[in-house]
Structure 1
């Protein structure tokens, strides 16, 4: 079938809106008509060479839509089902999946780095027959998506996909970091560096968990204000005051139980080490350039400081994505407030430029 998609042909290049040929789903794959897609910072990282991916590529992985067709072997999805795309295919057969760690599924690497389907082939081609890759095996910057059936998480019929598409990546990554990775407990103190879509989701996860001190750190006033409206109790502009010192002051000189980094910079990752209390934990959610290292003073180890990575919110998508949908419906998880604007596919370059300037929380691409 022919579809319209935003194609990226190289690092730091503008998107090209092209007509592509999308092959039908193969075994254990599904075809999904895209309703909406968030623009995630990971998409920005690929576009600017921070994360390496093959070109040309259809970016977008924070997508949601309606199942159009299923390939052979798919038994738990049918045409008409509403789904949210997950980052992991949850193959169920690898060691990590068998251990209940689907956020580390072996198939996830192929989707993230090779940007193919699990069989190593692509489904998108240009009119001339050139292969076009799809980020995370999804490619939600297109009118239709083919993805592994395990990546398509069924949600209730009354789910508003134009809002809950954010759950596919940023919300699950952030809220899951607080609720799953850190397992924040009522009464604990937390700090979050970076108040984009993921950071705001961490803040909400901390609030839902019952954290009583939630400190948001971001230089952008609009993001600090949004963080306060979503559950932060305090907000710090790191360009105007020493963020680590202020965190210690706000916690009686002790520090927080958990300090989360959601920017993807090694400097701010190291800064979380200065914010935690004895036996506290730094939770690194942001993704820095993979050739960089984080340096931390060893003295903190004597106070049992810990540093913990968080991948996709340590989530089990079939359990956590419907859970987060229900938290949205109940009003506990606020998503409407995180959407800065809804745009058409043709406006994608402008949205990426705004993201590069740190403006807004999330832009959502809408499809007719």
Structure 2
């Protein structure tokens, strides 16, 4: 079938502003039907994330050409297995950016978020069961994180979808596929925050503010935040943060039990490490350029008994955690709708990337007609 998608033909080397350089080409592609174990979905809403931007600017090299987008809500249109017992035509689903194969060592150890086969497929720009389903005049187009959500339709592995209630607005449901899953999961799963622990968040984008909301839901006190944007700091205070300061005032904050770094820069992670108390936990969810190296005093790992933890996808099991986080949202304890900056058509995708790169947006949503 013919679909419309935003395709990146070159990773890195694009000059700003993206609105005029137009690194993403909104164009027609051919989409193959789903194979057994796959779903054809109609994308309803897709969120812009720094993981998309980092492919455009070259921080995360990926094979080209690639149809971008990975955080989305969709409706199932067709099943690769007619007798699929989990999904049905018409289901509302949240798409997740790492399908867990269920057979590798991490999956069998309860760490599907570290699935070796899913990670390999994502790195190669293919679906979990092999190959691509997208083509441009007969030539293959790679999938972004198994989803390629900046499109009217997608074929995904069934393990890239979590069924949710149909009454959840698509622009809200989409946020649970990446920003909420990553930020809230870093609090609940990776850091295992306990009520009364102090928590500091570096960076107040979609993931950082989700982590802040998760910290408040977990009972952390006080919850503190650091970001250069006055608007984002003001929102953090409105959401319940006790303190929100610019980076140059970070030294005045007390040491925290838990520090969560969402910026994706090694220098910021080093600051986050220093901001934790002795015996504290530091969780990093940002994705720096692979060339960046982290420098910390090696002796502090022993002398200060600090724990530095990486958190991919919030150490989440999507089929377990997305329904839990949605239940918290329904209860008013995760007001993620406050993170929505704008809802725009797919045609605006390049200009929206400028707003994201400039730090002027928290979570932008594109709707697909």
Which SS does the other structure have where 1:198 is aligned? helix
Whether the 8 Å CA contact 1:2–1:22 is kept in 2: the answer is: yes
Query: In structure 1, how many angstroms separate the alpha carbons of the residues matched to 2:203 and 2:52?
Result: 17
SS at match of 1:288: coil
C-alpha displacement of 1:157: 2.4
For structure 1, the residue ranges without an aligned partner over 5 or more in a row are 249-254
Please list, as runs of the form range in 1=range in 2, the aligned pairs for 1:303-322 lying within 5 A after superposition.
Answer: 303-322=304-323
- Counterpart check, 1:180 vs 2:189: yes
Q: Is the 8 A contact 1:31 1:144 kept in 2?
A: yes
Moved more, 286-295 or 103-112: 103-112
Once residues 110 and 29 of structure 1 are traced to their aligned partners in structure 2, the CA distance between those partners, rounded to angstroms, is 18
Which of 85, 89, 98 is the matching residue for 2:99? 89
- 1:349 aligned onto 2:336: no
Partner of 2:36: 27
1:339 and 2:348 aligned: no
Q: How many correspondences in the alignment?
A: 358
* Paired residues of 2:7 and 2:67 also in contact (CA < 8 A): yes
| Residue correspondence of structure 1 range 1-368 to structure 2 within 5 A | 1-10=1-10, 11=12, 12=14, 14-72=23-81, 74-126=84-136, 128-239=137-248, 241=249, 243=250, 245-248=251-254, 255-301=255-301, 302-368=303-369
The offset of 1:49, in angstroms, is 0.3
TM-score under structure 1 length normalisation: 0.95
**1:155 Cα deviation from its structure 2 partner:** 0.7
**Residue by residue, what CA displacement relative to the aligned partner does 1:343-362 show, whole Å, maximum 9, x if unpaired?**
00000011000111111201
Distance 1:173 1:231 in 2: 20
Q: Once structures 1 and 2 are overlaid, which stretch shifts more, 61-70 or 91-100?
A: 91-100
1:252 aligns with none
Range with bigger deviation, 6-15 or 142-151: 6-15
Contact 1:110 1:120 in 2 (8 A): no
The C-alpha deviation readout for 1:164-211, integer Å capped at 9, x for no partner, is 201101110000000110010000001011000000011011101100
TM-score (ref. length: structure 2): 0.95
Distance 2:266 2:120 in 1: 26
1:15-42 CA distance string (max 9 Å, x none): 1111111001112111110010000110
Query: What is the Cα deviation at residue 82 of structure 1?
Result: 0.7
1:191-235: CA deviations, max 9, x gaps? Answer: 011000000011011101100111110000011111112231101
Render the CA deviation track for 1:222-272: whole Å, top value 9, x for unaligned: 111111122311011114x2x1x2222xxxxxx111111100000000001
Q: Distance in 1 between matches of 2:280 and 2:118?
A: 30
Quote the Cα distance in structure 2 between the aligned partners of 1:221 and 1:120: 46
CA shift, 1:363, in A, is 0.5
Counterparts of 1:30 and 1:97, CA distance in 2? 22
Structure 2: how far apart are the matches of 1:131 and 1:74?
28
Match of residue 251 from structure 1: none
Q: What's the Cα RMSD here? A: 1.2
| Contact 1:39 1:362 (C-alpha < 8 Å) held by counterparts | yes
Return the alpha-carbon distance in structure 1 between the equivalents of residues 240 and 309 of structure 2. Answer: 23
Structure 1 Cα separation of the partners of residues 121 and 284 of structure 2 = 22
- Which residue of the partner structure matches residue 17 of structure 2? none
After TM superposition, where is structure 1 displaced by more than 4 Å over at least 4 residues in a row? Answer: none
How far apart are the structure 2 equivalents of 1:326 and 1:350? 34
Following TM superposition, by how much is the alpha carbon of 1:60 offset from its aligned partner in structure 2, in angstroms? 0.3
Contiguous gaps of at least 5 residues in structure 2: 15-21
